[in-house]
Chains A and B, each alone.
Chain A
Amino acid sequence: MSELIHQLGLDWKLLASQGVNFLILLASLTFLVYKPLIKITEERRKKIELGLAGAEEAEKRLKQIDVLKEEKLAEADKGAIKIIGEAEKKGSKRFEEILKNAESRADEVMVEATRVAEQKKQEELNRLTEKANALIKEAIVKMVELDPKYIDDKLISRAAEVIRKKA
């Protein structure tokens, strides 16, 4: 047996050396490679998961915002239509009021103008009457001054001449 062990080169010191060699490598690689790499891989996985979840959440919120925007736009449209309708109603009402006021004012102006025209006409008439009176009076004075035999034609023509000039 010992010859076989010798031939195979078995030696407990070499066994121990090889064993220690392996254990050093095991401990070193565990500390230097496996644990840090597993940790960093896990960290990376978490970050990717977080990023994906964030992106999904952002997409979800974006969709919600889109829906909200559509709703708000629809509401705004409805509001705008309502406001425009009300404005149109108010406008037409105001237009009618303004029209009514204008008509009433026009009537008043017309009445006033008619009154003023009437008054002016009356004044003119009075003035004409006064002038006519003065002319007639003047004509009578002239008539009294003239010879009756010439009175007819001359008187008439002079009276007409005076009236034409005064008019």
Chain B
Amino acid sequence: MHEISLRAEEVFHIGSWPVTNALLLAIVSLLVLLSLGLAIKRKINLIPGKIQSIFELLLEQILKFMDSVLGDRRLSEKYLPLIATIFLFIMTSNWLGLFPFVGPVGLNLEHDGEHSFIPLFRAPASDLNFTIALAVISLISINLLGIFAIGFKNHFSKFFNTHKPFPVISFVGLLEFLSEFVKIVSFSFRLFGNVFAGEVLLLIVGFLVPYLVPLPFLFLEVFVGFIQAFIFSMLTLVFVAMAVKHEAH
């Protein structure tokens, strides 16, 4: 059993730019989704093929969920790229992290005279850099979409205002502003915690009882991978829906 590390291991450098095993699998996820996207784009037709039908079904389900939150198909289609990409990217990277080649396949590197095994791939969401980057992009997108939808002044008046009763409302606004930054922490640590815990669980169970016993846990992690992607994208959607609606005071 290789060492459980909270941080993603560096596999190599491009100049001064580090490339970790989590980043490598994130790039693999990107390539997988891009290949599917290209396949769809090439064969897109009014009468859909198999891949197009599957993607249309998936997007239709996502749009239905978005409709239930936004209440408008036009708005759902407008914000679909952000929500669907978050969902697909997290789910794909989580599921790729469960493949057998993730973990056992790696490099034996010598570091300060010590031999250490570094897995070539690691589930991207088990690295905080991945989850924080997604959370930051999600929060920036939420605020930008809010500004585009209701205007800069209206959007930031949710946080900074002098409505009566003056000190109370202003304080609540400030708390709302602080909670925007807290969202980054809650988004990123929820995803990181679940996926990292799943990885550790699978590693320990696989080490203790290698045959059959890890199977239910593997299925559980497949479900967790899906549900965490769903939660992240749905929370983003809910915050987008709140940001793009102008609240009258």
Is A74's beta carbon under 8 Å from chain B? Answer: no
Does B23 lie within 8 Å of A17, measured CB to CB?
Answer: yes
Is A75's beta carbon under 8 Å from chain B? Answer: no
Residue numbers in A under 8 Å from B27 (CB-CB): 21
Residues of chain B in range 52-70 having any CB-CB distance to chain A below 8 Å: 52, 55-56, 59-60
Is B102's beta carbon under 8 Å from chain A? Answer: no
Is A36's beta carbon under 8 Å from chain B? Answer: yes
Does B80 lie within 8 Å of A34, measured CB to CB?
Answer: yes
Query: Looking across the interface, which residue of chain B has its beta carbon closest to that of A44?
Result: B46
Does A37 lie within 8 Å of B26, measured CB to CB?
Answer: no
Whole-angstrom distance between the Cβ of B144 and the nearest chain A Cβ:
13
Does A18 lie within 8 Å of B81, measured CB to CB?
Answer: no
Does A37 lie within 8 Å of B40, measured CB to CB?
Answer: yes
Does B52 lie within 8 Å of A37, measured CB to CB?
Answer: yes
CB 8 Å contact bits of B118-147 with A (1 = contact, 0 = none): 000000100111101110110000000000
Whole-angstrom distance between the Cβ of A147 and the nearest chain B Cβ:
144
Tell me the count of chain B residues lying within 8 A, CB to CB, of chain A.
46
Given contacts A13-B18, A21-B30, contact A37 B136 (CB under 8 A): no
Using CB atoms and an 8 Å cutoff, list the residues of chain B in contact with chain A. Answer: 6-8, 16-20, 23, 26-27, 30, 33-34, 36-38, 40-41, 44-46, 48, 52, 55-56, 59-60, 77, 80-82, 84-85, 88-89, 124, 127-130, 132-134, 136-137
Using CB atoms and an 8 Å cutoff, list the residues of chain A in contact with chain B. Answer: 6-11, 13-19, 21-26, 28-30, 32-34, 36-38, 40-41, 43-44, 47
Does B18 lie within 8 Å of A36, measured CB to CB?
Answer: no
Residue numbers in B under 8 Å from A9 (CB-CB): 6-8, 20, 127-129
Query: Looking across the interface, which residue of chain A has its beta carbon closest to that of B48?
Result: A40
Does B132 lie within 8 Å of A15, measured CB to CB?
Answer: yes
Residue numbers in A under 8 Å from B130 (CB-CB): 18
